[in-house]
């Protein structure tokens, strides 16, 4: 099933840049600030809004995610938060709903490109889909790029729901 999302590619890149900022803060800026105590530079904050806007939704935009930076080029960072309720909404104009459980934990890998960046999120099935027939499926991985978001439901090659970004 293919779903079209409109005007979200800038939000996807904004989210990815926030993840890059977290990594740069931990491995560069924090060390610089440590040696210049008169400077106070706040670490970057990532909110649920950064994630939800990638899917065309603005609810719970102010809930902060605790972000742990990736430790190296092949390691992952984490995003964690606890929500008051399940977040559930329709994707674009489809009958497909995306939901986040109240206990959100996501591992992330950022791929920095020359012009564009991408991110792979491992969701531990805490994020899922509800199909129009009421069937639930957990999402194993989310892969975001400029023009597409792939929701991988299992390790099988064709078990993917693709969301196409249309501007």
> How do residues 70-95 score in pLDDT, each as one tens digit?
876 667 899 999 999 999 999 988 99
Task: Tell me the residue range of the domain where 154 lies.
Answer: 2-166
Query: What is the tens place of the pLDDT at every residue in 119-155?
Result: 999 999 899 999 999 999 999 999 999 889 999 999 8
Token pair in block for residue 156: 């099988």
Distance (Å, whole) CA 13 – CA 95: 26
Compute the Cα dihedral for 70, 67, 12, 100 and give only its sign: positive
**CA-CA distances (angstroms) from residue 129 to 63, 133, 153?**
21, 11, 9
Q: Provide the domain count of the chain.
A: 1
pTM reported for the whole predicted model: 0.87
Percent of the chain's residues with pLDDT above 70 = 87
Nearest to 9 by CA among 113, 94, 116, 127: 116
């Amino acid at each position: 099933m293919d779903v079209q999302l409109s005007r979200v590619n800038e939000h996807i890149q904004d989210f990815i840049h926030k993840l890059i900022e977290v990594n740069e803060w931990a491995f560069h800026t924090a060390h610089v600030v440590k040696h210049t105590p008169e400077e106070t530079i706040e670490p970057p904050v990532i909110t649920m809004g950064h994630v939800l806007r990638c899917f065309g939704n603005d609810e719970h935009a102010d809930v902060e995610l605790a972000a742990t930076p990736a430790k190296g080029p092949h390691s992952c960072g984490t995003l964690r938060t606890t929500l008051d309720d399940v977040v559930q909404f329709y994707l674009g104009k489809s009958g497909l709903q995306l939901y986040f459980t109240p206990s959100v934990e996501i591992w992330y890998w950022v791929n920095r490109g020359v012009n564009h960046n991408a991110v792979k999120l491992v969701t531990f099935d805490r994020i899922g889909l509800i199909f129009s027939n009421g069937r639930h499926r957990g999402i194993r991985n989310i892969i975001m790029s400029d023009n597409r978001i792939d929701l991988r439901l299992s390790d099988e090659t064709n078990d993917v729901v693709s969301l196409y970004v249309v501007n």
